[in-house]
Amino acid sequence: NYIQVLEAAIANNCYDIALRILTKAKQRAALHEKNSYERNLFHIIASTRISDKTLMEKCLTCLYDNKVDWNVADKYGMHPLHYACIFHNKIFIEFLLKKYSDKVDFNQKDQYGNTAYGLLFWNSAANNSIDQSFIRSIVKSGKSLDCLCTYVNELAKSPLSFSSINSSAAQSIPETPFYLEDISKIIRTTPLINAIIYNKIDIVQLLLELDADVNQSDEEKQTPLMHAVRQNSIDVAKLLLNKAKCAGDRVVSNSTHDENKDEQMKDIDVTHTEQEAMGESSTFEEATNVDLNATDALGRTCIHHLVRPLIESYDIFYANNIELFELLHTAGASLSIPDKMGFTPLKYAAKHNGCQHLYDRLRELVNECPMEMEEIP
């Protein structure tokens, strides 16, 4: 049938053949056919990589003229716009905005709860670069980025997932959400948190510049700052505290942990490359919009996440967590909020005692006597 032939032509970027079939089809109803996944030709074109802009636009115009449904859901509840956002099909999206400007809704969700805005960042962890101008042309409000999506990042969350493992995890991300094996096991995260987990500094910078909420948590109520702490990323933590400076702004440091170094880091110009973004994150402003004392589903703060070993059976700690601790303390994070079990960060530090200098510094700041290990269940 027509749909099979057209799908094969489009999949192989043979838009000249596809256009010939579309324009010469004797039965115009054939243009409305769907494949076994209940996708029509709009779905199929939206899912392709851009090859020939002129021919693609002519094919889309043919579908438009024949009133093919551009906003129908397939078997997996995904609309053509969802696929176009996943594959960054700029030509397709521009066509929709031109022809259906009053009907295109990037907040529309698929059956997994992902918005089209969220799907713009579906493959961001696997891509070495991202077309920032394309993203900026679509995202008009930071609120649209505060959505929870079924991003695949569980492996990258591991405290032992160094860059090589993160790279492998990113490459294993399913091409689209309907390839997910068990969606019930996925903890939905925001685009910002997903970028933090994969340590994509350039995307973190972009999302902050687009005004993504620095306090929007995931399904477990863990905030971006908590994830930065769990990933042991002081660079991302400082970016969050800075609330992302736009290009041309000046950054002044108020950090006290290394005054000589910070003095040299003042007045840094912010740019959009990952290397320079990391350079900017070496400083932070005292005033911040970050909720330093937010608590997750277990009542734990960012300081709890800092002092607790991420793999308790191995008492995994990080060598530089004292620097991150000093940063958060200087910014105003509370050191004495108990979690839902009644444990303060100091009690966890006393229990695990993985970093003696961290425990000693905590005890000094909260002005408590040394704790006996037996006191902590």
| pLDDT greater at residue 211 or residue 287 | 211
pLDDT > 90? residue 208:
yes
- All structural domains of the chain, each given as residue ranges with its CATH number in brackets, are 1-104 (1.25.40.20), 105-375 (1.25.40.20)
Residues 120-129 pLDDT 10s: 999 888 887 7
First to last CA, the chain: 69
pLDDT > 50? residue 220:
yes
Percent of the chain scoring above 90 in pLDDT: 56
Name the CA dihedral angle for 254, 255, 258, 263, rounded to a multiple of 10 degrees: -20
Tell me the C-alpha distance between 347 and 304, whole Å: 10
Structure tokens at 360: 């000693």
Predicted local confidence at residue 129, as pLDDT: 78
Banded pLDDT at 366 (limits 50, 70, 90): confident
Predicted local confidence at residue 176, as pLDDT: 82
pLDDT > 50? residue 50:
yes
pLDDT > 80? residue 275:
no
Predicted local confidence at residue 103, as pLDDT: 96
Number of H helices, E strands in the chain: 20, 2
Using DSSP, state whether 219 is helix, strand or coil.
Answer: coil
| Mean pLDDT over the full length of the chain | 82
Three-class DSSP labels, 309-332:
CCCCCCCCCCCCHHHHHHHHHHHC
Please name the amino acid found at residue 156.
A
Please name the amino acid found at residue 25.
A
* Residue 149, number of CB atoms within 10 A of its CB: 26
pTM here is 0.83
